[in-house]
Structure 1
Amino acid sequence: MKPVFSVVQDFLSSDVHQTKVTLDLHTGTHLDTPLHMIENGDDIEYFNLEDVISKCTVLDLTGVDDKITETHLSGKNISSNEFVLLKTENSTRDDFTTDFVFLSETGAEYLARQNITGVGIDSLGIERNQPGHPTHKILLSKGIYIIEGLRLEDVPEGNYYLLMVPLNIKHADGVPVRVLLIDELKSFINSL
């Protein structure tokens, strides 16, 4: 899903240059809302501005071949009330592939039991052709944010602060989101 750019005005016909972009709301790094997978689910209005900055743990799961299960996650240091980012071999790929590493139903159930705030993954989907989309539904029904399309190749496993700023597009089932990881929040704030 690539965006399509169209020049609306240019300097040959106007004194301004203006471009229009058409894109699927699930293009690139994006936040899924419950409406994406749950009939009558909440749209982007469910996003709480207090969650723009969150504690975050990046988990290195680059050794997982197919799907991330409870077994892969149970030995990791996961704290409640924080974001968990799943770094897989997906981050090393530059092209879209349908056999990406994904989070299984058992992995989603495990994360939900840990009372996390959200989960992000470095593929354009958190699950891959699972009938009924259980991974999405388990997480979204618990109010757990899902971010898809991250790029974590150069990010070591560890603790960070996550800054996420989704576009505020009314009634959206998903929205593009800018995500930054910060090592030292105090240093970051002092640099502003």
Structure 2
Amino acid sequence: MHHHTPTAAHAARPRRIVDLTHTLDEDFPLWPGDPLFRMRRIREAPEFLVHELCFGEHTGTHVDAPLHCVPGGDAVDRIRVDDLLAPLVLVDIADRTASDPDALATPADLAAWESLHGRIPDGALVALITRPARGRPDGKVNPEAPAQPHDDAEVHALTRSLTPDAAGIAHWPGFSREAAEFLVQRRAVVAIGTDAPSIDCGASTAFPAHHAVLGAGRYAVEMLAALRALPPAGATAVVAPLKHRGGSGGPARVLALLD
């Protein structure tokens, strides 16, 4: 009797794939001053559907390349392809953000993560979870549960974060300078990320996390989605930004693979 033998590619397929990418449309929140996201059907192509897209580089779930804040740094098309596949480390600081919307992840948060899950692996993407799970104050998640469709609450939270207060200051959590420097210098990360609009907190004017990470030739991933569908350790991130020559960053499709 013939027995079906899985191919190597089939056998290596992850048990679960979670999309960490927000769906872009014309209502998605933008950085103040960024160009509007526009999608227009090209009428001159009657046989096939074709749209013209217009958007800024830092729209939706996106990558910041070193060039974003480092003159002469690598552009998005020069990020090493080996660095776009990374162990995913999720550090949850949501328990502090309700009382402190400008909360910063510190080296103590990273030490606490390592005490539970072991040393942060070399070449990781370390991302912050900054918002409590809706209806789950403890923030716990069942990693075996099926991935949920993207929650509009995540987009609403980004909109609220990007809306300045009466003093003109926007508020969301981020990485402290010390945490970012620790990850680059002591843990050899390839990138840091967040579900918030930026890896630096909303009130920051010096952007220390950007300078620490991009200044070291690493990259950032901002506005990640669905992080609560994943365990704190064990997933692998696939980060695929738009590859345009000389770009300071670009919208990215980000996937998490679970074995």
Q: Deviations over 1:92-119 (max 9, x none)?
A: 5322213222112122122223221211
The answer to whether residue 42 in structure 2 is matched with residue 8 in structure 1 is yes
The answer to whether residue 146 in structure 2 is matched with residue 71 in structure 1 is no
Instruction: Give the conservation status (yes or no) of the 8 Å contact 2:197–2:223.
Output: yes
Structure 1 runs of 4+ aligned residues shifted over 4 Å read: none
Q: CA deviation at 1:44?
A: 1.4
Question: Which whole-Å CA distance do the structure 1 matches of 2:188 and 2:84 have between them?
Answer: 18
Question: Which whole-Å CA distance do the structure 2 matches of 1:52 and 1:104 have between them?
Answer: 24
The correspondence for 1:177, drawn from 248, 252, 255, is: 252
- Per the alignment, residue 149 of structure 1 pairs with 223
Compare relative contact order (CA 8 Å, sep 6+) and give the higher one, 1 or 2: 2
Q: CA deviation at 1:46?
A: 2.8
Give the letter aligned to residue 9 of structure 1.
Answer: R
5+ unaligned residues in a row in structure 2: which ranges? Answer: 1-29, 31-35, 98-102, 115-119, 134-152, 162-169
List aligned pairs for 1:56-95, cutoff 5 A: 56-65=88-97, 66-77=103-114, 78-89=120-131, 93-95=154-156
Mean alpha-carbon deviation: is it higher for 158-167 or for 74-83?
74-83
- Per the alignment, residue 115 of structure 1 pairs with 188
Give the letter aligned to residue 176 of structure 2.
Answer: S
- Per the alignment, residue 18 of structure 1 pairs with 50
- Per the alignment, residue 138 of structure 1 pairs with 212
Instruction: Give the conservation status (yes or no) of the 8 Å contact 1:10–1:17.
Output: no
Instruction: Give the conservation status (yes or no) of the 8 Å contact 1:90–1:101.
Output: no
- Give the length in aligned residue pairs: 182
Q: Between Structure 1 and Structure 2, which shows a larger proportion of strand residues? A: 1
Instruction: Give the conservation status (yes or no) of the 8 Å contact 1:9–1:16.
Output: no
Question: Which whole-Å CA distance do the structure 2 matches of 1:23 and 1:90 have between them?
Answer: 30
Question: Which whole-Å CA distance do the structure 1 matches of 2:172 and 2:203 have between them?
Answer: 11
- TM-score when normalising by structure 2: 0.64
Q: CA deviation at 1:58?
A: 1.9
Instruction: Give the conservation status (yes or no) of the 8 Å contact 1:34–1:141.
Output: yes
Question: Which whole-Å CA distance do the structure 1 matches of 2:54 and 2:199 have between them?
Answer: 23
- Per the alignment, residue 189 of structure 1 pairs with none
Give the letter aligned to residue 104 of structure 1.
Answer: S
Q: Looking at CA atoms only, which structure, 1 or 2, has the larger radius of gyration?
A: 2
Q: Deviations over 1:135-175 (max 9, x none)?
A: 10101111222111101132232221111112111110011
The correspondence for 1:101, drawn from 168, 173, 196, is: 173
Q: CA deviation at 1:10?
A: 6.7
- Per the alignment, residue 44 of structure 1 pairs with 76
Q: Deviations over 1:16-57 (max 9, x none)?
A: 432111111101111101111112222113311122322222
Question: Which whole-Å CA distance do the structure 2 matches of 1:156 and 1:17 have between them?
Answer: 39
5+ unaligned residues in a row in structure 1: which ranges? Answer: 185-192
Question: Which whole-Å CA distance do the structure 2 matches of 1:17 and 1:79 have between them?
Answer: 44
